[in-house]
Amino acid sequence: MYISITDSETGSNKAGSEQLVNYLEKENRAVREDAANARELWFNTASKEIIPQEVRIRIDNNIAKLGRNDAKFFLINISPSQKEIGFLKERFGVQGAEEKLKQYAVRVMDAYADNFKRPSVHDSKDLLWYGKLERNRYYSFKDDEVIQGTVKAGDRKPGEQLHVQIIVSRKDISNKIKLSPLNNSRGLNKEHSEKLGQFDRVAFKGSAEQIFDQMFGFDRPLEETVNYALTMKKGCTDQKQDIYLKNQLQSRPIDSQQNSLYDTVKVISPHNKPELQQLIDGIDFPAAGLFDILSADNGLVYENMEDQIKDFRKKKKKKRRPPGI
C-alpha cells in the first residue's frame, strides 16, 4: 500500500482548489456526453454523489484565519499495490473492488483524523474532505519511458492502476482548527504539540496498512510492510536483526520432523512465556542462534530464559579463544 501526502498534484495549495479539482476530473472528461451516468462522482463520509462544484466551493470557503501563504488543503494519494488490487477484484469483483476501496478510504481518513491527537478531531466526520476514485494513471514528461521515447506523455500506464485521490482541507469541518499532516512533530514535545498540533506520518501509513489487512482479510508478508521497509532502510543493526528474525519466524516452512521455529520454541520452553515473547519480539541475534540456545542439550535446568541465554553466550565466547590460552 502506497500512501503519500503532498501539497498538490498540480498548481499550488496556497490558493484556490479549482485547478486541482479540474485536474482530478480528467477521467470524467474522457467519458462521452451520452454516457454521463458513467462519470465518477466524488465521495466522503456522508455521501457518494458529490459534484465537483461542491468540492471546490466548500474547500475554498473553509480557510478562516489562514494567511495568504498558508496551505489551504492537502492531497492524499491512496494507491494499493498490483497484488492488493488483484486481491480485491478476485474477492469482490471489479465493481465490488471499487466500492470496497471507497469504504477503505473512509477508514483511512478516520486514521488520518485520529493521528492529530486533537480533542475535538476524532474521525473522518470531523474533517472536510472529498475523495475521487481513479482507474488509470498516465505517463508524464518526468517518466523515464517518456524521456527515452518509448511512450508519449499522456499515454495510459499498464497494469492495475485503481487508486483514490483525496483533497482534505487544512481546517477541520468546523473551520476552527488547523490541521497540517506535514507537521514534523510526533508528540515528543508536549507544549509544541498542544500549540501547533502533531502528525506522525509513519504511524499513519502503518495504521492504513493494518486497516486494509483487517478489513479485507489480506495476508500481508512481513517484508511487504511499511515497518519492514523503513527498518531495513533506516534502522540500526539491532533493529534489522530483530525484524529479520520475525521474518524468519513468519516464513519458515513446516516439515514432518520440525515445526516452525516459533512452535519449536514454545514446545521447548512452555513455562517461559514472558521471556519467550520478549525474546521473539526483540532479539539481537539471528534465528539460528535462537534455535541453538533452545535446542542445546547440556543437562542443565534454567530458571528463566535470560539465564539460558547468558550461559549460551559465555560458551560462545570460550569457543572463540585461540588455542593455548
What cell does 227 get?
Answer: 515497518
User: So what's the pLDDT on residue 224?
Assistant: 86
User: So what's the pLDDT on residue 245?
Assistant: 72
CA 4 to CA 2: how far, in whole Å? 7
Please determine, for residue 212, whether its predicted confidence score (pLDDT) is greater than 60. Answer: yes
Residue carrying C-alpha cell 476501496: 101
User: So what's the pLDDT on residue 184?
Assistant: 67
**Residue 187, by phi and psi: left (phi above 0), alpha (psi -120 to 50) or beta?**
left
Q: For residue range 258-273, what is the model confidence (pLDDT) as tens digits?
A: 444 445 444 444 444 4
Residue 284 host element (H or E): none
Please determine, for residue 319, whether its predicted confidence score (pLDDT) is greater than 80. Answer: no
What cell does 6 get?
Answer: 503532498
Burial (Cβ within 10 Å: 0-12, 13-18, ≥19) of residue 115: buried
Q: Which of 64-78, 108-122, 303-317 has the lowest mean pLDDT?
A: 303-317
Answer whether 81's CB lies under 8 Å from 137's CB. Answer: no
Distances (CA, A) of 82 to 2, 175, 217: 11, 38, 17
Mean pLDDT of 278-285: 48
Q: Which of 164-168, 197-201, 207-211 has the lowest mean pLDDT?
A: 197-201
Please determine, for residue 218, whether its predicted confidence score (pLDDT) is greater than 50. Answer: yes
pLDDT classification of 198: cutoffs 50, 70, 90: confident
User: So what's the pLDDT on residue 240?
Assistant: 72
Distances (CA, A) of 107 to 7, 124, 136, 171, 209: 22, 8, 23, 19, 11
User: So what's the pLDDT on residue 278?
Assistant: 53
Q: For residue range 17-44, what is the model confidence (pLDDT) as tens digits?
A: 999 999 999 999 987 655 656 789 999 9
Answer whether 115's CB lies under 8 Å from 199's CB. Answer: yes
Residue carrying C-alpha cell 465490488: 96
User: So what's the pLDDT on residue 263?
Assistant: 52
Answer whether 174's CB lies under 8 Å from 93's CB. Answer: no
Q: Which of 141-155, 226-240, 286-300 has the lowest mean pLDDT?
A: 286-300
Mean pLDDT of 105-126: 96
Nearest to 217 by CA among 132, 305, 131, 90: 90
Helix segments in the chain, DSSP class H: 18-23, 26-29, 52-61, 82-114, 144-148, 190-196, 201-216, 226-234, 237-251, 261-268, 273-281, 287-295, 305-320
Mean pLDDT of 62-70: 94
Please determine, for residue 55, whether its predicted confidence score (pLDDT) is greater than 90. Answer: yes
Q: For residue range 152-162, what is the model confidence (pLDDT) as tens digits?
A: 998 999 999 99
Please determine, for residue 244, whether its predicted confidence score (pLDDT) is greater than 90. Answer: no
User: So what's the pLDDT on residue 168?
Assistant: 98
Q: Which of 6-15, 92-101, 312-321 has the lowest mean pLDDT?
A: 312-321
Mean pLDDT of 144-153: 94
User: So what's the pLDDT on residue 257?
Assistant: 37
Instruction: Output phi, psi for 256, to 5 deg.
Output: -70, -20
Please determine, for residue 47, whether its predicted confidence score (pLDDT) is greater than 50. Answer: yes
**DSSP letter assigned to residue 171:** E
C-alpha torsion angle, residues 312, 316, 317, 319 (rounded to 10): 140
Please give the mean pLDDT across all residues of the chain.
80
223: which residues sit within 8 A by CB, 6+ positions away? 247
Please determine, for residue 249, whether its predicted confidence score (pLDDT) is greater than 90. Answer: no
Distances (CA, A) of 45 to 58, 108, 123: 15, 11, 10
Predicted TM-score (pTM) of the model is 0.73
User: So what's the pLDDT on residue 135?
Assistant: 95
Instruction: Output phi, psi for 155, to 5 deg.
Output: -70, 150
Instruction: Output phi, psi for 47, to 5 deg.
Output: -150, 155
CA 116 to CA 159: how far, in whole Å? 35
What cell does 9 get?
Answer: 498534484
More confident site: 32 or 16 = 16
